[in-house]
Amino acid sequence: MLENTEFAAECAGYSSMPVSQSYASVAIEQQQVSLLIAAFHRSQRAERQTRSLHRLASLWPVALGVLLGVYAPLLRDLAANSAPWAVTILFPFSVVVGERGLNLSRDTAQALGQFLLFAQFPLEGLLVRIMLKRRVDVVHVFSQVTFMHVFAVLYLVLVSGSLSQILMS
């Protein structure tokens, strides 16, 4: 059987008729619009990636706090070996829990002190991140965290009676 190749191009979806100018311009315009949409989506994706990187980079205080929290027992041992008062300054919250004025059982005070030993630096890192997110400069953030430690140490001095011993001497 002989094949008729004359109509094969039309059967494949190609027309042998000439295309009008308006049809060609509409097709070109559709192609340009689709390219513009693709470029817009690429720019949106790039903006989302930079925003997510900025959010990830803003977590550095928490990451530093977690890292210091892992090494907190080692830091406590180093501070206890060098000077006993250094433990009170570095980890005042775990020392505050051990005070008799809180009326905690010995086991509860010890467990809570151990928890605060590990949790103090990550919580302070979270506090620093929250303050930095509110556009507070680093000097004020450092001073606020330092004042937290100073007030905890002052509380320990007042509760333990060390201040009266110092004043009586």
Res 66: pLDDT: 93
The pTM of this model reads 0.64
Q: Which long-range contacts (CB under 8 A, 24 or more apart) does 160-164 make?
A: 160/99
Token pair recorded at residue 60: 């550095």
Res 63: pLDDT: 93
Show me where the domains of the chain are located.
Answer: 8-57, 60-168
Res 94: pLDDT: 87
Res 12: pLDDT: 56
Res 123: pLDDT: 92
CA dihedral 146, 76, 162, 159 (to 10 degrees): 70
Phi, psi for 19 (deg, rounded to 5)? -90, 140
Res 4: pLDDT: 53
Res 166: pLDDT: 54
Res 36: pLDDT: 93
Res 87: pLDDT: 84
Res 19: pLDDT: 60
Q: What percent of the chain has pLDDT over 90?
A: 34
Positions of the chain with pLDDT under 70? 1-20, 161-169
